[in-house]
Structure 1
């Protein structure tokens, strides 16, 4: 079991370095700090209000999304406190990181969980928007690594939490 964990940790770090250092360019330097906010609270609230006001077929989202987001947020916070994984910029050297980075724990990514919760919920109710939202979700996950805030495993588990919560709530409702 320990060789597997060692391999996971090494691979996680190597993939992080690719996203944080190897693919840097002016376009991403401007784009990623904006994209990352699509997984944040402000975007979630604004999207919720827009769908509430504009799309009648999204009424089911008014129940499912907040419930799935609450559940995913609770799971993310419990996991962060359980595993206490420091953020990459606190462990690695020569990391590109945003100004005023978050100080809480890294694992799993709450931004990834939130945007994947939204994407999955939208896929159930408004399928024609699903591809767009999953592309945005992947960009948010990449932005979290690009900005030095999360390792790949953090965003993958965050995405799995978000997808699982949205699926669970959808089928429970």
Structure 2
């Protein structure tokens, strides 16, 4: 099922130069939009500064989780096992989790907990990032869904923990 979904999406790549360019752009450069939003929020007000800080810490936690998962679990990327359309070069490391998707969802979820509108826009961009990673031939849909889940849950748990510690420290 995972491969069938991957194939349904990935077989569309290479057919339209404009869409391929857009998917490569999203896959490789969307992180700069996220960085800009984090910087903007840092200087906006105290609540947004907290959201921005939490997003960076959650992203750091997901990077460590990514490293640990890849250390103990290996899932071959789609282009290693099969002949698929690949639009940009990739590492030969494990397909799961998708670092791009982990980071985007960690940041967008952290922002969403404080600023629903901006967080919703970032979530859409996160979904597009995950989709683009399938389009360019680097990840299976299950890699993207799992990474989105891990990134989001990490941010929620970190936010709840930080609020609890903050509440306790004020008592």
Please state whether the residue corresponding to 1:79 is helix, strand or coil.
Answer: helix
| Aligned match of 2:108 | 119
Q: Which residue of 2 aligns with 1:74?
A: 64
- Aligned twin of 1:144: 133
Extract unaligned runs of 5+ from structure 1.
1-10
State the 4+ residue runs in structure 1 displaced beyond 6 angstroms: none
Tell me: CA distance 1:168–1:26, structure 2 relative to 1, closer, same or farther (3 Å): same
Displacement of 1:51 after TM fit? 2.2
For 2:26, the equivalent position in structure 1 comes to: 35
Q: CA deviation at 1:56?
A: 4.7
Q: Provide the rounded CA distance (Å) in 2 between the counterparts of 1:140 and 1:72.
A: 16
TM-score normalized with structure 2 length: 0.84
Deviation of 1:48 (Å): 2.4
Aligned length: 161
Cα distance in 1, alignment partners of residues 12 and 25 from structure 2: 20
TM-score (norm 1): 0.84
Distance, in Å, in 2 between the alignment partners of 1:86 and 1:79 is 14
Deviations 1:75-114 (A, max 9, x none): 1221122221121111111x11133322321111111111
